[in-house]
Every structure is written in C-alpha cells, then in structure tokens.
Amino acid sequence: MPPAVLGANGLPRIAAPIFAVLVAISRKRGLAQVCHHVLAVAIPPRLSCCPGRSLGTWNDINSCGPAISPEDPMAVNNCSTTCCPAEGIWSEWVSTGSLQKGGDGKNLTCGMCATQMQKRKCLSESYGCSCVGLTTQSLASSSDLCVFPYATCCAPYVKKLDVAAKKYSCQSTTTVPAIKTTTCCPPDGNGLWNDWGSWASCSATCGLCGTQSRTRTCASAAYGCPCSGTSTQSQKCGNPACTGTACCGATYQAVSYDGTLFCQETQPAPAVGTWQAWFTTATCNDTCGMCGREMQARYCWPPGTTCTGPFTQEVPCNDTLCVFPRSTCCSPFVKKLSTAKKMYTCQ
C-alpha cells in the first residue's frame, strides 16, 4: 500500500475529497479549453491516477485528468489592442522560498541584512503587451536596527527616522521610481487583477458550518487602469461531519469511499457500490496461536456510492503454534495439520 493520509476512520485516503471538482485546462492555440480525455480510476490499493494525472469528478464520474500547472502560460488575445503601456503592467511581487539570513556570520535578520526572493508576472502579456524589467528579485528584509556588537544596518542601508512609524529604522539611500500611469489600459476595460490570496482560516471545523474568505488587489490601478469585478470571495468550509447535527442547513451528509462522513452542498445521488478486497491496516499484535488481532479495512467503490456492511474488521491472526508455557492455540482454535503448509497450525 503506498503512503497515504489517514481519513477520520483511520483508513488510508488515496485521493483528495472525492466531490471536489477538478477542472483540467488544455492550452491550445492560445485558448483555454476543458479537457475531456480522461481515464478510468485505478482500483485500490493502487494509486488513483498515474503520475502527471489528478483525480477529479467529470460529468459526475470520478476519473483521471491532466494536472493543472500553476505555471501554465496565460492565453493571449491581442485582437483589440491599439496601444501598450510603455513598460507593461506587472503583478505585485510575491515572496518565494524562505528568508535567507545575512550580515556578519550570515546569521542576522535585522538591519536589512536578510534577503527574500520574490517573483512577479507580466499581466499585460495577456493582450499582447510585453513588460520591461525583471521577473525575479532578491529583496532585503526587516528594517529593524541591529544591536551591538553588530553594525546598525547592512550596506547600502543606513539608519533614518521613519516619520510614519515614529522610530529609527534601516532605509535605502535611493528612492524607488514611481509607477508610470498610462492611458493604454486593457482593451476589455476590466483591468488586471493580482492573483487571489490564500483562504483565511475557517470559522468552524465541521458540518460546512463555517465560512472563509480570500481577497485580491487590482494590479493595474496603480497604472491608472481601474478593475471591474469583486475583490473578495467567500465559501463554506469545514466539511467533516459533526457529531450530533452532522451538517448545517442547506448542506447534506455523504459517505466517502473509506467510510468517512462529510458534508457537501449538493444532495448525494443514491447508488450502490461494490466492496473491494480487505487489506491490513495494523499488523498482528501477537506472534502465535491465533491469539492476536489484525485490523483490516476495505473500500466501497466507486466513490460516492454506498455499500452495506462495515468498513473495518478485526480478525484473529498468526496461526503458528505457541510453545510452553503458553497454550498451543488460543480458544476457539485448535491444533490441526495444514495440508497446504505441511505442518501443524492453529485452525
């Protein structure tokens, strides 16, 4: 069994939540198209999908489709472009990787000694206008002053009064050039947005009783091109079923392939599944005489269906005869000749 994340019942989960819809994008001729070439899902305990493929729901069927790459090139539509901003329109800088300490001994995070790698995207390329400048940079971080015996600031930064914060900090001796405004805005009139930020923490842990939100900012506003659309998104969250009242209003309880109960916003369609073969989840806790117990589990397949019976069971294990002073076999098992093994075992 490949390494896996355990579900609420302690069973290995071989995929993300089964009702999450995967939208695979195929980039062809500069256009985004939904890919319909998907493959059947493998039966446990095999991995659901081969490398490079992701499990998703396609027309209510769980299938394997192409994985989405976050670095997919954006589609270009320059049909209505009449002019371009002089230096293009960039997204905001986004930090990548971890903070790298610097300064004396390469162990300081104060005095603008540490650095952080950042990257950005040329958003105006989406309508045929390239950008001028770098896509990556190493940015000095943490303007707090260092204390003795270290230098107050790492070069080329110097100690200056931060009027807004009303304290001294390490600041640059040069100013960052202001963004040049333009009248060559995106031709669709909608502006250009930065990527959505991360979802905030959920306000509840179960029953889809919570909500969470995320925000984005208008990248083109600083260039004189306002955005249209919403800057905030919200969604229900906390999908494991609760004890007591399992799901909050307007949501429905469903059962995953491993028996985990969770909540979803659509009512599950009744369908009968097929039990897969039992497999071991915890090894035998004794060495002989069928005295031990082994935990086993099975999946109800395909996901979204229901099966009658338990998802787990405990079975006697290890039929090797015990030796004195222990009894040969634990009741109700007795010593018998195993013709298959050609030796006495507990049966």
Q: What pLDDT, on a 0 to 100 scale, did the predictor assign at position 310?
A: 92
CATH number, residue 225: 2.20.100.10
| Torsional sign, CA 99, 102, 105, 110 | negative
Residue 54 lies in a domain: yes
What is the residue whose two structure tokens read 């539509």? 77
16 and 63 inside one domain: yes
What are the φ and ψ backbone dihedral angles of 317, each rounded to 5 degrees? -150, 165
Q: Does 88 map to a domain? A: no
Q: What's the pLDDT at 258?
A: 87
pLDDT greater at residue 68 or residue 176: 176
Percent of the chain with pLDDT over 90: 62
**Among candidate residues 298, 297, 337, 301, the one with its CA nearest the CA of residue 319:** 337
One-letter amino acid for residue 132 of the chain: V
100-123 mean pLDDT: 93
Longest dimension (CA), the chain: 93
Statement: residue 226 has pLDDT above 60: yes
- Distance separating alpha carbons of residues 345 and 316, to the nearest angstrom: 13
pLDDT of residue 203: 94
**What is the pLDDT averaged over residues 131-156?**
93
User: Does pLDDT of 266 surpass 80?
Assistant: yes
Which single residue is written with the structure tokens 């320059």?
78
The continuous run of DSSP H or E covering 280 comes out as strand 279-282
User: Do both 252 and 192 map to the same domain?
Assistant: yes
pLDDT attached to residue 49: 60
50 pLDDT above the threshold of 70: no
Q: Are residues 308 and 242 in the same domain?
A: no
- Whether the predicted pLDDT of 25 surpasses 90: no
Residues of the chain above pLDDT 70, percent: 77
What DSSP assignment string belongs to 300-340? Answer: EESTT-B-SS-SEEEEEE--SPP-TTS-SS-TT--EEEETT
* Average pLDDT, integer, range 299-304: 86
Higher pLDDT, 52 or 131: 131
Burial class (CB in 10 A: 0-12, 13-18, 19+), 210: middle
Between vectors from CA 295 to CA 292 and to CA 301, what angle results, nearest 5°? 155
Domain boundary among 231, 265, 299: 265
- Residue 191 counted as domain residue: yes
Q: Is the pLDDT of residue 41 over 70?
A: no
Please report whether residue 77 resides in a domain. Answer: no
Q: What's the confidence (pLDDT) of residue 302?
A: 86
Do 258 and 298 belong to one domain? Answer: no
Residue in 314, 317, 310, 276 with CA at minimum distance from that of residue 295: 314
Q: Within a domain: residue 153?
A: yes
Give how far the C-alpha of residue 139 lies from the chain's centroid of Cα atoms, to the nearest Å: 27
CA gyration radius, the chain = 30
For 160-208, what is each residue's pLDDT tens digit? 999 988 999 999 988 888 899 999 999 999 999 999 999 999 999 999 9
**283 Cβ neighbours under 8 A, 6+ residues apart:** 294
**Element counts in the chain: helices (H) and strands (E):** 0, 23
Q: What is the predicted pLDDT for the residue at 21?
A: 34
Look at residue 83 and tell me if it is in a domain: no
76 domain residue, yes or no: no
What's the pLDDT band for 24 if we cut at 50, 70, 90?
very low
Same domain, residue pair 256 and 295: no
Domain extent for 200: 180-265
Helix (H, G, I), strand (E, B) or coil at 105: helix
